[in-house]
Amino acid sequence: MSRPWSSANPLPGGRKDWEQLSRTTAYEAYGRAVVDVTYRLPSGKVDTFSVREDAPSVAVLALTEAGEALVTHQFRPGPGQFVYELPGGYLNAGETPLVAAGRELLEETGYGGDLEMVGHCFGDSYSSSVKFCVVGRHCRRRRPPQPDDTEYIEVMHVSPGELRRLLRTGDVTDVDLAYLGLDALGLL
């Protein structure tokens, strides 16, 4: 059965057919920005899209030597409630995702271990943000946590089964990265 499209006959509206005409920063604060980007669409119509620009971030699915996942529980202003998260945060300038993962894991939980980069995804279709997933094996406590002065973090140890249950509650911010990590570890 032949497909109506191929590399020789690409889908209408393919990437090469979108022409960026302008970019204007509408809002910028705390290292984040909203940028209005104007494109000429494949149809010839000109339209403007608001795009959220954010620094790259990383989250760590860290397993202790006992096989428990480290999860943080803290208040987050966006949803306005306490949520569960994988340890992680933004990459500093010039920092690799793996280095940022080790730094964030140690700062937020006090744990360190054998880290491996396993994947990445985009924040959403109206964001330039890239989110990296790192897994940690054989993690153990190295020191007391040292979170940022705006973070009040409860560190929890949960079984992989309990993590999967938490992911289904809707109260976890890193669902996509947690599933990437669980898959990489063979724990789905």
DSSP string across 56-79: -EEEEEEEETTSPEEEEEEEETTT
Helix or strand or coil: residue 45? coil
Tell me the β-bridge partners of 122.
130
Q: Which residues contact 89 (CB under 8 A, 6 or more apart)?
A: 57, 58, 100, 104, 107, 108
**pLDDT tens, residue by residue, 163-176:** 999 999 999 999 99
Structure tokens at 40: 């000429």
How confident is the model at residue 15, as a pLDDT?
A: 53
Whether residue 151 is predicted with pLDDT greater than 90 in this model: the reply is no
57-184 — its CATH code?
Answer: 3.90.79.10
Residue 8 pLDDT: 40
Q: What is the pTM of this model?
A: 0.85
Rounded Cα distance between 35 and 157, Å, is 39
Token look-up 């890239």 returns: 130
The confidence score (pLDDT) of residue 172 equals 96
State the pLDDT at residue 30.
80
Q: How confident is the model at residue 16 (pLDDT cuts 50, 70, 90)?
A: low
The domain locations on the chain are 15-53, 57-184
The whole-number pLDDT of residue 182 equals: 98
pLDDT tens, residue by residue, 33-89: 999 999 999 999 999 999 999 999 999 999 999 999 999 999 999 999 999 999 999
Q: What confidence tens digit (pLDDT) does each residue in 83-141 have?
A: 999 999 999 999 999 999 999 999 999 999 999 999 999 999 999 999 999 999 999 99
Buried (b) or exposed (e) across 55-82, using 16+ Cβ within 10 A?
Answer: ebbbbbbbbbeeebbbbbbbeeeeeeee
Residue 28 has pLDDT above 90, yes or no: yes
pLDDT in the model for residue 147: 87
Closest CA to 103 of 94, 90, 118: 90
Of residues 108 and 1, more confidence is placed in 108
∠ CA(179), CA(112), CA(120), 5° rounding? 30
